[in-house]
Amino acid sequence: MTEKYRDRFVQECPYCGGTEMIESYQSAYGAVTARSNVWGGVPLFHTVCRRCGSVVRSYVKEPEKLLRRRDRRKG
């Protein structure tokens, strides 16, 4: 995902009006896991306002990895 694409989602911080965002992520114990998949997980990414530090968006880049292998789309 390019910076330009991400910017379409968050252009301005709803808390302070800042327009400069930083992407960060959390993994390990902060990883997102599906109920059916107790092993592993995927990192949770955050868009953070550089001006006030608020997390204005959280997302998983590859949500299909939360599905069991047999349930993932092929192709």
**What spatial distance separates the first Cα and last Cα of the chain, rounded to whole Å?**
19
Q: What is the pLDDT at residue 4?
A: 46
Q: What's the domain count of the chain?
A: 1
13 is a domain residue:
yes
Q: What is the pLDDT at residue 6?
A: 45
Q: Is the pLDDT of residue 12 over 50?
A: yes
| Distance between CA atoms of residues 15 and 19, nearest Å | 11
Give the model confidence (pLDDT) of 19-53 as tens digits: 999 999 887 676 777 666 556 678 889 999 999 99
DSSP string, 40-72: --BPEEEEEETTT--EEEEE-S-GGGGS-GGGS
Q: What is the pLDDT at residue 8?
A: 56
26 is a domain residue:
yes
38 is a domain residue:
yes
Q: Which domain, by its residues, includes 14?
A: 3-64
pTM for this prediction: 0.66
Chain-centre distance of CA 73, in angstroms? 20
